[in-house]
Amino acid sequence: KAGVTQTPRYLIKTRGQQVTLSCSPISGHRSVSWYQQTPGQGLQFLFEYFSETQRNKGNFPGRFSGRQFSNSRSEMNVSTLELGDSALYLCASSQQGGLANEKLFFGSGTQLSVL
């Protein structure tokens, strides 16, 4: 079974630009969560999607948004990039997500650098 796939692996953008990251979950998994990882803050929850609906959202500004498609693939968008958005963005999938106590399967992440 293929794991969680994130593309691209690396991105370099400049301030003010926008970026879209992609995540393909494990086949059969309907929940996709996104996390931001930085050396100072660690892993922080961005949002979770289940069956094309955002089910939960972390404490991030509205510049961070996402969506999920009918095949459970998900995209995350960051508009008007700031230097502080430089981070590793991780996607994780599970079968049900939410309050179901499942382990998450993570992708290898997209390393975003904002110059």
Footprint on this chain of other proteins (rule: CB under 8 A)? 4, 33, 35, 41-45, 48, 56, 58, 90, 92, 97-101, 103-109
Q: Which is nearer to other proteins, 16 or 98 (CB)?
A: 98
How far apart are CB 41 and other proteins at their closest, in Å? 8
Question: Would you tell me how many other CB atoms lie within 10 Å of the CB of residue 105?
Answer: 16
Print burial letters for 7-35: b (CB count within 10 Å at least 16), e (below 16): eeeebebeeeeebebebbbbeebbbbbbb
DSSP H or E run through 11: strand 10-13
Which of 42, 40, 50, 47 shows the shortest CA–CA distance to 61? Answer: 47
Q: Which is nearer to other proteins, 97 or 114 (CB)?
A: 97
Q: Which is nearer to other proteins, 43 or 73 (CB)?
A: 43
How far apart are CB 40 and other proteins at their closest, in Å? 8
How far apart are CB 84 and other proteins at their closest, in Å? 17
Q: Which is nearer to other proteins, 66 or 107 (CB)?
A: 107
Q: What residues have CB less than 8 Å from 98, skipping those under 6 apart?
A: 31, 48, 50, 55, 56
How far apart are CB 77 and other proteins at their closest, in Å? 20
